[in-house]
């Protein structure tokens, strides 16, 4: 019999150790972790309980403190119901009444403390009460485990059956230990059934968790495949939408580029009318208004040019046409054009440039420098400086001002489209954030680079590096530069051809204000009439887009009629590289609308001096 009890003790101890390992391996599992912990602790308490009823066991250890008193036995009798109930409350938390369960648990622990602090002569009087408490707790758990089984909780059936068998053995033990009957102590048998049954029930719970995890894994895998499919479809839809948006943006940019001729026409006429009016006004007050009007026209012209240049960039319509440009006259002209505005703002303008030529796209180069100077003028407090010098591979141009400067984190942002840092500052001359964007894109097209070489509260300095491109040089004649504001074109014979009446009117008014002998014509027929009346022009100013033809064809016909190589200048609002290349390849200078009067004056003077 002793061997049987020892075997049960070993099995129960192994079960407790097994579930303790389960708990330590997965103690973060809030559902199963506490269940394994309380069950393993219950197994160890029952091991103590069994060791106390093994026959003759004390013979082998007669001097052990365990046999000296009954404190450990009674302690296990009162601790067992508390741990037992903690196990059930963890296994079936929704089926056991929390308040009553908590009261029983606390009472069992209190009685355990009572056994520890009182002598044997006192706590041994609680023997019958402790047995009754154990039987009552088992009956209590039977009732509520049945509720859990009815709700089909995993393991509830196995626990209920083993619990009922344990209850019968507990009744038998209660009869024996209260001296009301004789027989064998069935506690080890009941405990073995309880341990095996509970362990089987917990394995069923683990099996459910495993199946649930596997099912969840499959669902997640299926969901992942579905999400991948959705991501693939969304990506494809996004690429299609992005392609449509890009096509839409390109179409919009192409539309603006195509419509640039019509956009430039009225501004072209307005600029010429204003320039002519300024020379005729003598009243200082009116002259001031005309000057302000001219500034507004210049600003509008600059904004339109930036917008159209941006459209060229977005439409990928940047094809530089390289020609040789004298740097000193170009920078001198730009400095002169900005110097008047600088004087009005009390800003000193200082520039220096080495002598030499640069093979680049003249129009794009002029636009880059003009935008950089305009940016510096808006920022400057008292002075602007521009330095241009040769390098072994090209040119370096430094443009600096003493304005508020640019923060280092904004150094790259300023070259993005529609980013204007001055709009974020009160009382600052802002813009639409296109000027420096155009500078960056044009510089890149020319093979150069632009960067801020210094930024501080004392001002900003831009470093423009441009390479020389001798291998790409064409035979295009660069536009002349007006060396001074003095005009000496009295008596120069000019014939202007354009199919827009307002443009003809403005051109005639401007040329007459310069004391030129001017004739205007809307087409080939009127031009022939002027020639038939003996008018011998020194220069033809011809619009490229004419009704039913173009300026190149008109010039060729006139040269055939007169049998003379009549000098001619093409004026156009077109920005397509194919058109500009066609004009330049024919050997004509081209001037973009809206025409700057001083640029036109420089061309006229160059022809007058020939």
Confidence of residue 436 (pLDDT cuts 50, 70, 90): confident
Give the burial class of 308: count Cβ atoms within 10 A of its Cβ; 0-12 exposed, 13-18 middle, 19 or more buried. Answer: buried
DSSP letters along 410-477, please? Answer: GTTGGGSTT--GGGGSTT-----S-HHHHHHHHHHHTT-EEEEEEEETTEEEEEEEEE--GGG--SPP
Structure tokens belonging to residue 584: 């330049």
Interhelix angle 260-280/597-608, nearest 10 degrees: 80
**What's the whole-model pTM score?**
0.46
Give the burial class of 387: count Cβ atoms within 10 A of its Cβ; 0-12 exposed, 13-18 middle, 19 or more buried. Answer: middle
Q: What are the CB-based long-range contacts (under 8 Å, 24+) for 498-505?
A: 498/522, 498/542, 498/543, 498/546, 498/571, 499/523, 499/543, 499/545, 499/546, 499/547, 500/265, 500/269, 500/543, 502/265, 502/266, 502/269, 503/265, 503/268, 503/269, 503/543, 505/269
Residue in the structure block whose two tokens are 């300023």: 414
CB 544 within 8 A of CB 571: yes
- Contact residues for 389 (Cβ-Cβ < 8 A; gap 6+): 353, 354, 395, 396
Q: What is the rounded distance in angstroms from the CA atom of residue 51 to the CA atom of residue 6?
A: 8
Counting DSSP H helices and E strands in the chain, the numbers are 20, 14
CB 569 within 8 A of CB 589: yes
- Contact residues for 254 (Cβ-Cβ < 8 A; gap 6+): 311, 315, 317
Residue 431 clears pLDDT 60, i.e. is over it: no
The predicted structure's pLDDT at residue 249: 57
Q: What is the 3-state secondary structure (H, E, C) of 551-594?
A: HHHHHHHHHHHHCCCCCEEEEECCCCHHHHHHHHHCCCEEEECC
Structure tokens belonging to residue 565: 């190589």
Percent of the chain residues topping a pLDDT of 90: 3
Q: What is the rounded distance in angstroms from the CA atom of residue 488 to the CA atom of residue 419?
A: 43
Q: What is the 3-state secondary structure (H, E, C) of 510-535?
A: HHHHCCCEEEEECCHHHHHHHHHCCC
Average pLDDT, the chain: 76
* Mean pLDDT, residues 8-35 taken together: 76
Q: What is the rounded distance in angstroms from the CA atom of residue 474 to the CA atom of residue 490?
A: 34
Report which secondary-structure segment, H or E, holds 388.
Answer: strand 383-390
Q: List where CATH 1.20.1070 sits in the chain.
A: 2-217
The string of pLDDT tens digits covering residues 566-606 is 889 998 877 676 787 788 788 888 887 777 787 788 788 77
CB 199 within 8 A of CB 18: yes
Residues 309, 312, 318, 324, CA torsion sign: negative
DSSP letters along 162-207, please? Answer: HHHHHHHHHHHHHHHHTTS------HHHHHHHHHHHHHHHHHHHHH
Q: What is the rounded distance in angstroms from the CA atom of residue 34 to the CA atom of residue 22?
A: 10
The predicted structure's pLDDT at residue 541: 92
CB 545 within 8 A of CB 592: no
The predicted structure's pLDDT at residue 277: 75
The predicted structure's pLDDT at residue 115: 85
The predicted structure's pLDDT at residue 332: 80
Confidence of residue 495 (pLDDT cuts 50, 70, 90): very high
Mean pLDDT is lowest, of 48-62, 138-152, 309-323, 377-391, for 48-62
Residue 173 clears pLDDT 80, i.e. is over it: no
- Supply the DSSP symbol for 610: -
Q: What is the rounded distance in angstroms from the CA atom of residue 51 to the CA atom of residue 66?
A: 10
Bigger pLDDT: 190 vs 229:
229
Q: List where CATH 3.30.565.10 sits in the chain.
A: 322-473
Q: How many CB atoms lie within 10 A of CB 228?
A: 10
Residue in the structure block whose two tokens are 């025409």: 595
HSE-up of residue 576 (Cα within 13 Å, Cβ side): 12
Phi, psi of 317, deg, nearest 5: -110, 40
Give domain 322-473's CATH architecture: 2-Layer Sandwich (3.30)
Percent of the chain residues topping a pLDDT of 70: 73
The string of pLDDT tens digits covering residues 52-98 is 655 444 555 555 544 456 777 788 888 888 888 887 888 788 888 88
CB 153 within 8 A of CB 178: no
Question: Cis peptide before 575, with omega less than 30 degrees from 0?
Answer: no
Phi, psi of 52, deg, nearest 5: -80, -15
Residue 501 clears pLDDT 70, i.e. is over it: yes
* Mean pLDDT, residues 466-473 taken together: 74
2-217 maps to which CATH number?
Answer: 1.20.1070
Residue 480 clears pLDDT 60, i.e. is over it: no
Q: What is the rounded distance in angstroms from the CA atom of residue 91 to the CA atom of residue 104?
A: 17
The predicted structure's pLDDT at residue 103: 92
Residue 159 clears pLDDT 80, i.e. is over it: no
Total residue length of the chain: 610
Q: What is the rounded distance in angstroms from the CA atom of residue 215 to the CA atom of residue 168?
A: 40
C-alpha distances (whole Å) from 404 to each of 379, 412, 433, 456 are 7, 17, 17, 7
The predicted structure's pLDDT at residue 140: 86
DSSP letters along 468-511, please? Answer: --GGG--SPPPPP---SS----TT-EEEEE-S-HHHHHHHHHHH
C-alpha distances (whole Å) from 563 to each of 444, 495, 555, 557, 560 are 44, 17, 11, 10, 5
DSSP letters along 311-356, please? Answer: HHHHTT------EEEEHHHHHHHHHHHHHHHHHHTT-EEEEEE-S-
Report how far apart the first and last C-alpha atoms of the chain are (Å, whole number). 136
HSE-up of residue 264 (Cα within 13 Å, Cβ side): 25
CA 177 centroid distance within chain: 79
Structure tokens belonging to residue 39: 């069950």
Structure tokens belonging to residue 183: 């027989």
Smallest CA-to-CA distance from 378 within 438, 457, 431, 336 is with 431
* Mean pLDDT, residues 10-16 taken together: 77
- Supply the DSSP symbol for 409: G
Phi, psi of 524, deg, nearest 5: -65, -40
Give the burial class of 230: count Cβ atoms within 10 A of its Cβ; 0-12 exposed, 13-18 middle, 19 or more buried. Answer: exposed
């Amino acid at each position: 019999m002793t061997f049987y009890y020892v075997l049960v003790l070993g099995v129960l101890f192994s079960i407790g150790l097994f579930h303790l390992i389960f708990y330590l391996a997965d103690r973060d599992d809030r559902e199963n972790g506490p269940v394994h912990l309380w069950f393993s602790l219950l197994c160890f308490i029952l091991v103590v309980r069994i060791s106390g009823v093994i026959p003759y066991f004390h013979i082998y250890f007669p001097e052990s403190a365990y046999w000296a008193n009954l404190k450990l036995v009674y302690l296990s009798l009162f601790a067992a119901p508390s741990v037992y109930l903690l196990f059930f409350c963890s296994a079936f938390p929704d089926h056991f009444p929390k308040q009553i369960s908590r009261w029983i648990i606390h009472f069992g622990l209190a009685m355990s403390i009572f056994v520890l602090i009182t002598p044997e002569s006192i706590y041994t009087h609680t023997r019958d009460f402790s047995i009754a408490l154990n039987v009552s707790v088992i009956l209590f758990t039977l009732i509520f485990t049945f509720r859990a089984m009815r709700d089909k909780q995993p393991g509830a059936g196995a626990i209920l059956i083993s619990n009922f068998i344990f209850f019968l053995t507990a009744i038998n033990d209660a009869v024996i230990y209260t001296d009301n009957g004789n027989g064998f102590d069935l506690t080890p048998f009941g405990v073995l059934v309880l341990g095996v049954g509970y362990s089987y029930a917990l394995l069923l719970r683990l099996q459910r968790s495993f199946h649930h995890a596997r099912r969840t894994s499959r669902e997640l895998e299926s969901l992942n495949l579905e999400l991948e499919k959705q991501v693939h479809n969304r990506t494809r839809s996004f690429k299609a939408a992005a392609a449509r948006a890009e096509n839409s943006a390109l179409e919009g940019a192409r539309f603006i580029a195509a419509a640039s001729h019509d956009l430039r026409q009225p501004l072209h006429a307005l600029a010429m009318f204003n320039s002519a009016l300024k020379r005729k006004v003598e009243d200082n007050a009116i002259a001031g208004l005309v000057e302000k009007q001219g500034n507004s026209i210049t600003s509008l012209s600059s904004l339109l040019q930036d917008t159209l240049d941006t459209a060229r960039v977005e439409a990928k319509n940047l094809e530089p046409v390289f020609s040789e440009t004298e740097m000193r006259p170009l920078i001198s002209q730009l400095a002169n054009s900005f110097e008047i505005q600088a004087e009005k703002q009390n800003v000193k303008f200082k520039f220096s440039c080495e002598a030499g030529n640069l093979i680049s796209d003249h129009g794009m180069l002029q636009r880059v420098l003009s935008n950089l100077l305009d940016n510096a003028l808006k920022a400057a407090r008292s002075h602007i400086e521009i330095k241009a010098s040769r390098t072994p591979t090209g040119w370096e141009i430094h443009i600096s001002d003493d304005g508020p400067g640019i923060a280092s984190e904004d150094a790259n942002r300023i070259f993005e489209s529609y980013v204007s840092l001055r709009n974020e500052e009160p009382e600052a001359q802002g813009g639409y954030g296109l000027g420096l964007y155009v500078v960056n894109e044009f510089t890149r097209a020319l093979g150069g680079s632009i960067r801020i070489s210094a930024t501080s509260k004392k001002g900003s300095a831009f470093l423009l590096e441009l390479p020389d491109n001798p291998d790409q040089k064409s035979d295009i004649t660069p536009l002349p530069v007006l060396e001074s504001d003095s005009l000496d074109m009295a008596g120069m014979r000019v014939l202007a051809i354009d199919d827009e009446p307002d443009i003809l009117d403005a051109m005639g008014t401007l040329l007459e204000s310069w004391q030129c002998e001017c004739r205007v014509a809307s087409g080939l027929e009127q031009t022939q009439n002027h020639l038939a009346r003996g008018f011998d022009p020194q220069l033809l100013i011809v619009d490229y887009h004419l009704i039913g033809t173009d300026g190149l064809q008109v010039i060729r016909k006139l040269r055939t009629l007169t049998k003379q190589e009549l000098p001619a200048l093409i004026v156009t609002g077109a920005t397509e590289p194919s058109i500009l290349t066609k004009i330049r390849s024919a050997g004509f200078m081209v001037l973009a609308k809206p025409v700057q009067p001083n640029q036109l004056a420089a061309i006229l003077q160059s022809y007058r001096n020939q």
